[in-house]
Amino acid sequence: MDPIEIELTDLEAALADGWSVLDVRSAAERVAIPVPVDSHWIPLPQLLSGLADPGPGRWLVLCAHGQRSLYGAAVLRQLGHADATSLRGGLAGLGFGD
């Protein structure tokens, strides 16, 4: 099982390493600061409600600063996604956004 939170410097490298990116930000945040790689999108409230599941995979969950993604990764683990992991610092930690 992967740790619940990891630091990365390059999302492209994460994809090459077998991660799928799950963005839990709002629609407005996605428009303002797009994810610079191919990603899936489930806003955190929808994920928490149980109305959406990203499906099987090794999910790297991200948000703007890393708090919502950590919560989202924990919820996914409770739902059986043992390798769901949050990107520490979010997109801001990678230099995107504020």
* Prediction pTM value: 0.94
Do 44 and 73 meet the contact criterion of CB atoms below 8 Å apart?
Answer: no
- Fold that domain 5-93 belongs to in CATH: Oxidized Rhodanese; domain 1 (3.40.250)
Judged against a pLDDT cut of 80, whether residue 34 lies above it is answered with yes
Spatial separation of the C-alpha atoms in residues 57 and 84, rounded to whole Å: 8
pLDDT digits (tens, 9 = 90+) for 60-89: 999 999 999 999 999 999 999 999 999 999
**Do the Cβ atoms of 71 and 44 come closer than 8 Å?**
yes
Sheet of strand 5-6: strand arrangement: 5-6, 85-87, 59-62, 20-23, 40-41
So where are the chain's domains? 5-93
Q: How far apart are CA 13 and CA 55, in angstroms?
A: 22
